[in-house]
Structure 1
Amino acid sequence: MTRLTTSVAIYFLLVSTIAQAGVVAGGTRVVYQEGKREASISVTNADTHTPYLVQSWVENFADNDKRPVPFIVTPPLFRLDPEKRNMLRISFTGMELPHDRESVYWLNIKSILPSQKGDVNKLQVNIKSKFKIFYRPNNLSVDPSDAWQKLQFHAEGNRLTAKNPTPYFISLFSLTVGGKEVKEPGMVAPFSSHSWPVSGAGTVKWRAINDFGGITDATQQ
């Protein structure tokens, strides 16, 4: 490896490390309860020297969904100085959404490392993170803290299917069949099913992610 190549590799590594160490969100998801004035999530600049620009917006969960989104974020763009924190406030615009189940959207938070004077030949690094926003209607029939335990699994051939009979999105942290891990188990939508290819059979064990981003105990079927 040449000295130039080594220098470039080190530069990219340092810039990437700085960007990753910069803006940190105070959660992994947002639950917007129907009727609330707003929901919020904090963003903190963990860097001790570098300010960042922070841009945020909401988009539909499905890439091909071009409908207007029912949330706005304030402030949409601001400077976050080193070791400072700010709050992103998420407001509902009043769009008609299902009343019998949750709806889900993406909150995007982009941290932009500003260029310095004379840095025209240097890379500007933008880091975008995505967080789920769940719109939760009032008076749903199941306690949200119990919903993950109500998944119903069945196997057919080389596929495992989970049926979600609840009005909540259930985000799976882990899923195993006969001790074999299912990679990236994902999320099961309300009143819907999701299936995965599996090899073998046996006891199904799973853990989920709760409203606070924590991991539940394991249960099995």
Structure 2
Amino acid sequence: MSQWIKWGCLGIWLSGIASNAWAGVIVGGTRVVYNSEKREASISVKNPDKSIPYLIQSWVESESGSAEVKAPFIITPPLFRLDTEQENTLRIVRIDGQLPSNKETVYWLNIKSIPATERTEQNTLQISVKTRIKMFYRPAGLSGNASEAYKFQRFTKNGNQLQVNNPTPYYVSFYSIKIGSSEIEEPGMVAPYSTRDWSTPEGATGTISWQAINDYGGISEVAHTSP
């Protein structure tokens, strides 16, 4: 394993595209949905590079990212060599923990790639790159449909504040939110049975419209409501 040395710790978080790619390594999705009735969830990792193998390290952490809160999931394999022009599958398995049964819970799936390096007498800087994607734990039997949840968001505008209320048991990840032609920056997501607020652009008026990101990283149709 001596070739896997002299690497930096630069982390880059990529999201919002059909697949995540960095330094030749491709992850087969921008999010993972773990359905509770299944034994595991999975996501692929591919190295299309013709000359550089990578060491791939993966783990799941809580939404807060705190090391003190251990996520009740393991990944197999947690650490492996991904050779040139090869593909492997990361399998995510729940191991313990009491999770809410009436709503989704979100975690972060981290995948770090470390390129191989040759022995040399010269000083070198080898950069590892980490991607961080959302993983949604979805209990069985939730009411409604995850793909339709974005349509049921309730928006209210008060002065320069816009609030959304999510009455569904699903997380809704917004792709865009607009008031008339004015767009909310970094709309993020709203948790189940929760509210979220944004400051609105000055002078923003008109119909509120929004789009969401679905389970497959695609973009929903536009939904509208009057302010």
User: TM-score w.r.t. structure 2 length?
Assistant: 0.86
Aligned residue for 1:47? 49
What letter corresponds to residue 212 of structure 2 in structure 1? A
For 1:103 and 1:38, the matched residues in 2 are separated by 16
Deviation of 1:64 after TM superposition, in Å, equals 4.3
Superposition pairs of residues 105-184 of structure 1, within 5 angstroms = 105-118=107-120, 120-184=122-186
Aligned-pair identity in percent equals 50
1:24 touches 1:45 (CA, 8 Å); kept in 2? Answer: yes
Which structure is higher in RCO with an 8 Å CA cutoff and minimum separation 6? Answer: 2
Deviation of 1:120 after TM superposition, in Å, equals 4.6
1:60 touches 1:66 (CA, 8 Å); kept in 2? Answer: no
Aligned residue for 1:204? 208
What count of residue pairs does the alignment treat as equivalent?
A: 204
Structure 1 unpaired stretches of 5+? 1-15
What letter corresponds to residue 212 of structure 1 in structure 2? Y
Aligned to 1:145, what secondary structure does the other structure show?
A: helix
Which residue of 59, 63, 66 corresponds with 2:65? 63
Aligned residue for 2:193? 191
Would you tell me which structure has more helix in proportion to its own residues? 1
Over 3 Å counting, the alpha-carbon distance change for 1:150 and 1:119 in structure 2 is: farther
What letter corresponds to residue 74 of structure 2 in structure 1? I
| Worse overlay, 116-125 or 85-94 | 116-125
Superposition pairs of residues 80-91 of structure 1, within 5 angstroms = 80-91=82-93
Structure 2 unpaired stretches of 5+? 1-11, 13-20
Aligned to 1:66, what secondary structure does the other structure show?
A: coil
For 1:152 and 1:119, the matched residues in 2 are separated by 62
For 1:33 and 1:41, the matched residues in 2 are separated by 14
Deviations 1:29-63 (A, max 9, x none): 11111121110000001212110000000111113
For 1:132 and 1:107, the matched residues in 2 are separated by 6
Aligned residue for 1:30? 32
Aligned residue for 2:221? 217
1:175 touches 1:205 (CA, 8 Å); kept in 2? Answer: yes
For 2:116 and 2:30, the matched residues in 1 are separated by 25
For 1:186 and 1:46, the matched residues in 2 are separated by 31
For 2:167 and 2:95, the matched residues in 1 are separated by 29
RMSD, aligned CA: 1.5
